[in-house]
Amino acid sequence: MWISVDLAAMDSTEDRRTCRLALEDGTVFSGRTFGFCTDGATSGGEVVFNTAMCGYQEALTDPSYSGQILTMTPTEVGNYGIADEDVESAAVAVKGFVVREAIDEPSNHRARAGLGEWLAKAGVIGLCGIDTRALVRILRTKGALRGVLFVGDAKSDADLVAMARALPSMAGQNLAGCASPTSGSTWSEGLGEWTLRGQPRAGRTFRVVALDCGAKRNIYRNLAERGCDVEVVPHDLSAAEIRARRPDGLFVSNGPGDPAAVEQTIATLREIAGEVPTFGICLGHQLLALALGAKTWKLKFGHRGANQPVRNLLTGRVEITSQNHGFCVDEESLRAAGGEPTHVHLNDGTLAGFRHTTKPVFSVQYHPEASPGPHDSAYLFDCFVSMMESRRPVTAADMEAAQRALAAV
């Protein structure tokens, strides 16, 4: 049995084709397409939601969304168009995009294209004219669901629901291999004039090897801003190849999919993490925890948005953070493996960061580069630099000093 929800009447654009989103629970949302709109076009993936009020371009190009259909909760999306400076990777990462109302004519002097035009060139289906509040309520109640987007009327609702149910679960999927580069490169671009600057270190330049599992560009900009020479390498680079580069620090990036399935990277980190100061973000946080011997588990609907509250347990300060993940590290197993929690998510009490008690290793579940989002957590990049300077575990004093310096900027 399936339920059909048709709220497309609000959309007044006559030339948009019918588009539907069918969920594995039997719900079908009917609206209009924007972006790639060829009749019969189909795309499937895990349906998730992001509560940020802006930042759709950064979200759509975040490789962590690979394999997922993204919906955003603001009423209108597309108002400020697409700007070259705001992409987080070389391509649109999502399998589809769902909004309440898509704006075709952006108002922004930096825009080089409209949202629909940009998605069309990328071959990504957009669905508009549905009640995204109803969709988000379903996802919050039942958890992230598999779904299929379909353009046109050639298939029945029942067919589309069956297609959604046939999709693979996100659990068990190693998508980092698809999002990771196949060869190495260097990164030197800093934050520039549009973003809060970091705290560059005078004198020494630190050589950082970055295991790229699907990284956002603003992470590398933050490292470069702080005097780091960043060498970006594939996620499956061996420990021996990392050692041969003689880095001052090792960075493990964000990325898509189930962390437990990224076995080769976990094996590499088990061998080398802490041999040099090591910092992980999001998927990198999960991979470091797994390398130590901890466990991960899948959240019901994940944390995705730019207003997620986190408490730093070492300093007592609360940070408003930007997050995008569907898996979490089990705190009890982390403690047993020698990790110490440093941050906790205040909405649900889940682990949001840890450090190793004897090795220079630390990581956070969220995104301190905050693109988009608040800059409360940018101090963590300064903590990484301090750890490379001292080659010892990060301390509460390190975090306190970095937070005070950030507040003074």
Q: Is 299 exposed, middle or buried (0-12, 13-18, 19+ CB in 10 A)?
A: middle
| 291/270 Cα distance (integer angstroms) | 5
Q: Please indicate whether residue 369 is annotated as part of the active site.
A: yes
What are residue 309's DSSP bridge partners? Answer: 320
Q: Tokens at residue 92, please?
A: 């649109």
Beta strands at 18-23 and 27-35: parallel, antiparallel or unpaired = antiparallel
Helix axes 379-390, 217-225, angle to 10 degrees: 50
- H or E stretch covering 267: helix 263-272
Residue 303: CB atoms within 10 A of its CB come to 23
- Per the CB < 8 A criterion, the answer to whether 290 and 296 are in contact is yes
Helix axes 379-390, 396-408, angle to 10 degrees: 130
- Catalytic residue, from 128, 282, 328, 383: name it: 282
Nearest to 51 by CA among 78, 25, 73: 73
Q: Tokens at residue 217, please?
A: 């560009």
Q: Please indicate whether residue 367 is annotated as part of the active site.
A: yes
Q: Please indicate whether residue 101 is annotated as part of the active site.
A: no
- Per the CB < 8 A criterion, the answer to whether 49 and 72 are in contact is yes
Q: Tokens at residue 19, please?
A: 């588009």
- Catalytic residue, from 24, 101, 331, 369: name it: 369
Strand, helix or coil at 117? helix
Annotated catalytic residues are 282, 367, 369
